[in-house]
Structure 1
């Protein structure tokens, strides 16, 4: 019995297992979680997140777009490892798989898709299959688990040797009979936020802020209704008791035709005898609508790891937030606290798809990214300090090659002295001037 047959046999057992609960961990806009003893799938309804959040929530889309635009600017190189310390960057032909992952595709296209899947599903899956890098839609992938100590996994049992034994990709739908079985060595699994409820899958950063997204959508809907209904508070119109239902209906039709909708805003309202108008609700200023909606956007920005001033939310565009120093600090926090960890994680995940030299690791190259120009200036300042340090140490008599190695590794134990002293670096006593004899008898 081959691996595919064994996995299909187990899948049938899973569907009949008393531990299977398709309704567990259900969320608004989401499908059911899929956590079984032998398998992990993404927790949320991927299509629900795409349709209900990515394509309908302006703040959520803006945050994902900022993350995507910066994240996709990086390229990949190999980084040497010397004594456990990072060294220089270099490239080989093996990187071609990531530079042209599919016909017409670039590294930027690959990274854009990766971060998009990770944001919406918490996981991104890529495989080297049939001669190119292939994206696997997250909601079509099952992570198959196994253990030698517990051949038949059961609910609540987490053996220490639990590991991923295969990935199943279902081209049509989960549970179909044409699954593609891939070994872990064939798959790059990018899951930047681990799901605490699972052993290997990731979690979308959108899941904890679903209520904030729902509230923002409700606020936007409220604002739309405000303008659709004459851009004014809802009002109550009282008529004389003698007005018949037929006359009331006619009056209502005329009132709606003349004053309902944003195009009729601020028109003069004329009422007949006995009619009285009473406002029922507050306007947007009384509701402090900007502050209410702005606070929700800031909470979304915090979950995404994007400062409000970087994405352009209203609360980040006021006061001292846009001062050069504060904006620069926010930018650095975004890059160093959010984007660089994502790049590092992506490099580690994609290393599965290429041949990495034995003395190196796959690493990101951010040297040509315009967004990081201020970081480049800081790097230049650091290089200047290093250069001054190298000169001082060489002038003090240390061997130049060991000075460079010590400064780059930040390890002064690598220094070796040449035995030479003084600025001229002459052996001791070799620079003394010997008296000369003058032919005329002088000295």
Structure 2
């Protein structure tokens, strides 16, 4: 698929144009310059031509700021991978020194380039000095308004014309994406970007010891042991009551949206600090959304293993938070790479379990086995589990038919869930059980598999 990169100095509207073209609010926009830091990728289609669109951070030349230097490095890497570059400028401000620097860089790269002038919101009444942009040496400037959509359709026509011959979509319906989508989630500064870069063997996210350096969700594809993965690095998630900056609010929102699209979430914690209340909140959020979960305890290189073994740490976590007993807990160091790749192995395993479908006859043989066992104390004696059928996967969802579902309490529900896990090996995935009354005619026939 051809790649189109949007580049330019800070605050010219790159993320607004990205969101306009992709049709999703995937990149964060704000009046504050420098909001986009990592590369943000999305897919777009226009008149039958599909292409990958990349939003980059604003170019700043000559800066000694570590993060701004990293942002420039990220943008330059996006240029290397692009088939077509869209250089975006602010038509209201004219050519600035930074615009000229970016233009010089693009001419040296010899990449096909389209010069686009943004913020031409009211061409009839506004004053726009478009002629001066010719001195950038990048051809005819193309005026648009990313905020209100003016001429963005014409811009897409132009992009498609320039991409013609690079790649065309194949005939027929698109193939199902077989990649395992792993989302790295956690509070700020637990090492998500470091793990992302370690697994991908290339710097795709900015790593810095200042919390909050990743603001957008960043994707990278990789292959490991013949398995395809898509890694998604997200911004650090803080408690909503602690978030007063609108940019950070949208970062949290974007991270939550990434979790919603995940096959499995790797919830990262800082081993040198232990599992915090916010870590557990994030894990609860993941499980409430029905996602498979792997807990990655990072920075294990900072832990004194003479006093705390990995197994002892796991047991302490489970003792404090019993619900984590059913999920893999990995102690690793993204910085040194020790045990880092076990994340991929665990992710593939739990996704396989989350997607597993148990045949109804096998489920009901299991029902016959547990009927003879003692129910947990406190369960009403007249409650009988009669049969079970699986209605969905990811997460595994079951319909449990009983003579008195109204009397099923939390203890009995947990008992049936634990027995399901033990029998069928559902480690790493939440389970949904919906109780139905066999006396209702509409519930007599089991739910068909979806």
Same fold (TM over 0.5): no
Higher relative contact order at CA 8 Å, sep ≥6: structure 1 or structure 2? 1
Higher normalized helix content (fraction of residues): 1
TM-score (norm 1): 0.22
Report which of the two structures shows the higher radius of gyration computed on alpha carbons: 1
Q: TM-score, normalised by structure 2?
A: 0.22
